[in-house]
Amino acid sequence: MKQAIDFTPNIRSAKRVQIVQVKLVREKSLLYKERKIRSPHDAYTLMKEFIGDVDREHFVVLCLDTKNQPTCIQVVHIGSLNASIVHPREVLKSALLSNSASIIVGHNHPSDIATPSPEDIEVTERLKDAGKILGIDLLDHLIICTDSFTSLKEKGYV
C-alpha cells in the first residue's frame, strides 16, 4: 500500500524574514572650518570639540572621504571610568554606511594620561586588520586628554 504525501505547507515551521533598509541618521552637525584633516593635531582638535569634557571613556570614529574631509563623526562606545570595549563591527558600521575611504579613531582618557595601554594597542591592530579586509584604511588612533594627545600612528602602531 502506498503512503500519501502531504504537500500542504507547514505554517508552524515558516520563518518570517524582515525586509529592511539600512541608513545613517543625522542627529546634528558640527562646523569644521579646516575642511580637511591634514595631521593628527587636526583630528585631535575636531574630536576634542566633539567629545567635550566627559567623565567616562568615549570611543569615537571620524569618517573621511578620499580627500581626507570629514563626512561624519560618531561615538561608537561609552565605557567606564577607565575602560572601553570596542568591536570592529561597531566602528566600521558608520564608515561603511557613509562610503568612507578611511577612518581615524580616538578615545579620551579621563585619567588625563595620554599613554596607550596594551588594550589600546590591541584594538588598534584589530581595527587596522578589519579595515584592510573592507577596504577602509585606519589612518590613526588618538588618545585624547585635556590639553594633549597621543597619536598611535606617530608611535608606530598604525
> 98 falls in which pLDDT band (50, 70, 90)?
very high
Asked whether residue 107 is assigned to any structural domain, the reply reads yes
Task: Identify the domain containing residue 133 by its residue range.
Answer: 11-151
Average pLDDT estimate for 142-154: 95
> 81 falls in which pLDDT band (50, 70, 90)?
low
Task: Please name which of 40, 71, 67, 70 lies closest in space to residue 141, comparing C-alpha atoms.
Answer: 40
Asked whether residue 126 is assigned to any structural domain, the reply reads yes
Indicate the number of domains in the chain. 1
- pTM equals 0.85
pLDDT exceeds cutoff 90 at 7: no
CA dihedral 51, 58, 74, 22 (to 10 degrees): -160
* 30-48 confidence digits (pLDDT tens): 888 889 999 999 999 999 9
**Domain of residue 31, CATH code:** 3.40.140.10
